[in-house]
Amino acid sequence: MNSKHSNGHNFWQDKRVWVTGGGGFLGAFLVEGLKQRGAREVFAPRSREYDLREIGDVRRALRDLNPNLIIHAAARVGGIGANREHPAEFFYDNLMMGAQLMHEAYKSNVEKFVALGTVCAYPKFTPVPFHEDDLWNGYPEETNAPYGLAKKMLLVQSQTYREQYGFNAIYLLPVNLYGPRDNFDPASSHVIPALIRKCVEAKERGDDSIVVWGDGSPTREFLFVQDAAEGILLAAEKYNDPAPVNLGSAYEISIKDLVELIARLTGFEGKLVWDKTKPNGQPRRKLDTTRAKNEFGFVSQTPFEQGLRETIDWYVANHGAQRANGKLQMAIR
């Protein structure tokens, strides 16, 4: 990750930074990026130390860590299967973590709060490419709506707290992330790690086919996790306005083409069988990334196939430790 941006090191040098979810997929790259930028005090406690759904734990964490800046990357996430099985938990956990943390951060005089939303907050039928001004023009895609709406409330909270209290909270909308160290658990993984695992294991077993959810027609945009961390840190340094900002790669690919590409890169030569009884998820996803470029100079750097190869290489090298029991669910989120 390139950390040499204007004033980046100076900005972070005297900051006490709390990254919630810092042990997670994105959070770990944020912590690494902060250290590269010269941040001396970075805190990434686990949920077992502070359960952000519990107001007492939130208050205790703020007392213990005394952060100047919070990057709220913690979230209860999963693919279509996990969202369908746990909609209430996805709504409650994400809403409570975000609302309580931002409120208590304001009360504790935290200087800046970086809230991470989700592309799932967009309406199901949003004009492509998705522009931030279209966020409120409809209801999200049903399978992800409880999660998407819970995270969307952070936008409302950040804007109202800025308006009434002068609290410096910003709201970023990352598109679907992927990369090394992603979650490959069959019960909760998203589409790219799910497909990689499915193809690698099918190849190892000598299977002549794999089954994929839906019909392959939806499109998705994916952002390499290190690029996402770079965009978030640039926004933390340079962006101080109420308007939400998309973070994406501006590269759109159909699920059908994605499956075929991953099969080719993993060396799986069997047949692809589409289970059309399973949901497709949102029809199209592609973000307008103009605002991020104009406001804080973020443009993703990793070509999609290169990022996929790095992710596959990591999984092949580590997947013995990633195995879990259960049926693999294709997660198109």
Residue 207, in any domain of the structure: no
Contact 161, 167 (CB under 8 A): yes
How much is the pLDDT for 78?
73
> Looking at the predicted structure, is the pLDDT value of residue 3 above 90?
no
Contacts of 105 by beta carbon, 8 Å cutoff, 6+ apart: 62, 70, 113, 167
**pLDDT for 286:** 94
Total domains in the chain come to 1
pLDDT value at position 266?
A: 97
| Surface-to-core class of residue 204, CB atoms within 10 Å of its CB (0-12 exposed, 13-18 middle, 19+ buried) | exposed
Q: What is the mean pLDDT of residues 212-232?
A: 96
Rounded CA gap, 109 and 237, in Å? 18
What is the percentage of the chain residues whose pLDDT exceeds 90?
83
In a domain, 49, yes or no: yes
The number of C-alpha atoms within 13 Å of 234 and in the hemisphere containing its C-beta is 25
- Tell me which residue has tokens 């005090």: 41
Lowest-confidence pick of 77-91, 150-164, 244-258, 289-303: 77-91
Q: Pick the more confident residue, 318 or 2.
A: 318
Structure tokens at 22: 């810092």
- Domain membership flag for residue 105: yes
Is the pLDDT reported for residue 329 higher than 70? no
| Average pLDDT along the chain | 92
- End-to-end, the C-alpha distance of the chain in Å comes to 26
Domain of residue 95, CATH code: 3.40.50.720
The mean pLDDT value for 221-249 works out to 98
Point out the least confidently predicted range of 38-42, 115-119, 186-190: 186-190
Question: Model pTM?
Answer: 0.91
Q: Is residue 194 part of a domain?
A: no
Told to judge if 239 belongs to the known catalytic residues of this protein, a careful annotator would answer no
81 lies in some domain: yes
* CB-based contact 228:177 (threshold 8 Å): yes
Give the per-residue pLDDT at 159. Answer: 98
Residue at 328 is within a domain: no
Position 320 confidence tier, pLDDT thresholds 50, 70, 90: low
pLDDT, tens digit, 9 for 90 and up, residues 92-148? 999 999 999 999 999 999 999 999 999 999 999 999 999 999 999 999 999 899 999
Q: Is 129 part of any domain?
A: yes
Containing domain of residue 125, as a range? 9-179+220-252+284-302
* pLDDT single digits (tens) 53-88: 999 999 999 999 999 999 999 998 777 777 789 999
Of 51-60, 76-85, 193-202, 287-296, give the lowest mean pLDDT range.
76-85
Average pLDDT (211-234) is: 96
At 332 the pLDDT is 37
Catalytic residue among 147, 161, 171, 178: 147
The full DSSP string for 68-124 is SEEEE-------HHHHHH-HHHHHHHHHHHHHHHHHHHHHTT-SEEEEE--GGGSBS
Average pLDDT over residues 257-269: 97
Domain membership flag for residue 331? no
Pairing of strands 176-178, 271-275: unpaired
- Residue (of 196, 209, 170) closest to 322 by Cα position: 196
